[in-house]
């Protein structure tokens, strides 16, 4: 078993990210160790994982209580589901030294992480990402939260995990559409911080869960995110910092909110947002038209959308963007590509230019 590892180094708390086929076995060993030390554990997962990985669910259930969310997708990140999970932890007698295992994609990671962050003012959480998107992005860095009708992740907390176990063998049951959605975040990492990674992704297209290069690609994405997070854990820098990880997300989150959560997978909305961010960057002289084309072609090579599938209201998109949690002093924060492999943040984007970019992607 070849295992890649990255250490996320933070001022108050550092933790390992383990990547490779078979690391799942360490999850059960960790849970058993906690239980032997009289620390109670629970697992939170989704209907999709329960259906796709019944043997794993059986093994988990033999070690600790498990609860399955009532729905899949972004709709699970709700206040109602959060209350249900709090009550489950209470019913299981989870104390301050208990541990929550988040077993699933980005939605479960966010929801279970926020459950752990808030129950009894914070209990430990171990992230076990089962989608590519969660492995390269959402399971690392400690962002947790739920959605409101007004927007995505508007209620949340920073709560770093105790460890992350990314077992690439679990990707064998991931639907092709979900794998592609994860590739949007992989491509994003290359665009903001690693020109060679982006070039590799162009030549490797399309990567699959069986590609021997995948664990190293995941590791590189985690290294990039770990570096950014260690420099700006709570996203407080006025310029650059952790905000750079949001390339394409200002547009993408607006698309998700207006289209209705679940219409676009998060990675699909981010893919469209990456094209919009590239076009905005070109309009502001930060990258070339050829680089915009390269972004579009690479996303297409990984079966990702580059335009809205059907028109959305420009007025609604602009309103949703203004409710984004990255807004500061009434100004939206945009992330611009500075060529491929570098990025910067700015609040100096005229509203009419942002509207023009939305129209270029199919808004009306």
Q: Which residues are catalytic?
A: 121, 143, 185, 225, 239, 242, 246, 249, 253, 266
Name residue 331's beta-bridge partners.
328
DSSP 181-230: HHHHHHHHHHHHH-HHHHHHHHHHPSP-TT-TTHHHHHHHHHHHHHHHHH
| Positive or negative torsion for Cα 50, 75, 106, 98 | negative
Going by C-beta distance under 8 Å and a sequence separation of 6 or more, which residues neighbour residue 169?
21, 22, 24
Identify which of 192, 194, 178, 212 has the alpha carbon closest to the alpha carbon of residue 49: 178
Identify which of 19, 63, 13 has the alpha carbon closest to the alpha carbon of residue 40: 63
Going by C-beta distance under 8 Å and a sequence separation of 6 or more, which residues neighbour residue 273?
247, 248, 249, 250, 251, 252, 253, 255
Name residue 125's beta-bridge partners.
100
% helix, strand, coil for the chain, step of 5: 50, 15, 35
Identify which of 219, 276, 224 has the alpha carbon closest to the alpha carbon of residue 247: 276
Q: DSSP E strands: which ranges in 105-244?
A: 124-129, 143-148, 151-158, 163-166
Neighbours of 152 (CB within 10 A): 25
CA dihedral 355, 357, 363, 364 (to 10 degrees): 50
Q: Please check whether residue 31 is in contact with residue 178, taking contact to mean a CB–CB distance below 8 angstroms.
A: no
Q: Please check whether residue 217 is in contact with residue 197, taking contact to mean a CB–CB distance below 8 angstroms.
A: yes
User: Tokens 């679940």 — which residue?
Assistant: 262
Q: Please check whether residue 251 is in contact with residue 357, taking contact to mean a CB–CB distance below 8 angstroms.
A: yes
How many residues are listed for the chain in this entry?
Answer: 364
Q: Please check whether residue 195 is in contact with residue 184, taking contact to mean a CB–CB distance below 8 angstroms.
A: no
Give the separation between CA 54 and CA 239, rounded to whole angstroms: 45
């Amino acid at each position: 078993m070849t295992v890649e590892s990255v250490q996320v180094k933070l001022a108050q708390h550092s933790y390992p990210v383990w990547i490779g086929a078979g690391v799942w076995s360490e999850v059960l060993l960790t849970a058993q160790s906690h239980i032997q030390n009289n620390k109670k554990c629970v697992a939170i997962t989704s209907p999709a994982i329960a259906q796709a990985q019944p043997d794993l669910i059986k093994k988990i259930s033999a070690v600790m209580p498990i609860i399955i969310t009532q729905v899949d997708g972004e709709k699970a990140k709700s206040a109602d589901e959060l209350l249900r999970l709090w009550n489950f932890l209470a019913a299981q007698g989870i104390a301050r030294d208990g541990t929550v295992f988040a077993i699933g994609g980005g939605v479960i990671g966010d929801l279970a992480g926020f459950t752990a962050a808030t129950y009894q003012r914070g209990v430990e959480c171990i992230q076990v990402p089962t989608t590519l998107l969660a492995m390269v992005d959402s399971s690392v860095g400690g962002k947790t939260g739920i959605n409101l009708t007004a927007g995505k992740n508007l209620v949340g907390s920073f709560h770093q995990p105790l460890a992350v176990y990314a077992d690439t063998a679990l990707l064998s049951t991931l639907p092709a559409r979900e794998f592609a959605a994860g590739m949007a975040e992989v491509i994003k990492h290359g665009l903001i911080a690693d020109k060679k990674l982006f070039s590799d992704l162009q030549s490797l297209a399309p990567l699959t869960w069986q590609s021997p290069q995948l664990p190293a690609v995941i590791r590189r994405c985690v290294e990039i995110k770990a570096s950014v997070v260690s420099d700006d854990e709570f996203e407080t820098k006025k310029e650059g910092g952790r905000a750079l990880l949001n390339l394409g997300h200002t547009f993408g989150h607006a698309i998700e909110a207006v289209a209705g959560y679940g219409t676009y997978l998060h990675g699909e909305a981010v893919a469209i947002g990456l094209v919009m961010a590239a076009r905005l960057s070109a309009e502001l002289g930060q990258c070339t038209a050829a680089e915009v084309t390269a972004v579009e072609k690479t996303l297409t090579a990984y079966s990702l959308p580059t335009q809205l599938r059907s028109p959305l209201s420009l007025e609604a998109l602009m309103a949703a963007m203004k409710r984004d949690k990255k807004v500061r002093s009434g100004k939206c924060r945009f992330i611009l590509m500075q060529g491929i492999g570098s990025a910067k943040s700015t609040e100096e984007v005229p509203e009419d230019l942002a509207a023009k970019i939305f129209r270029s992607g199919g808004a009306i």
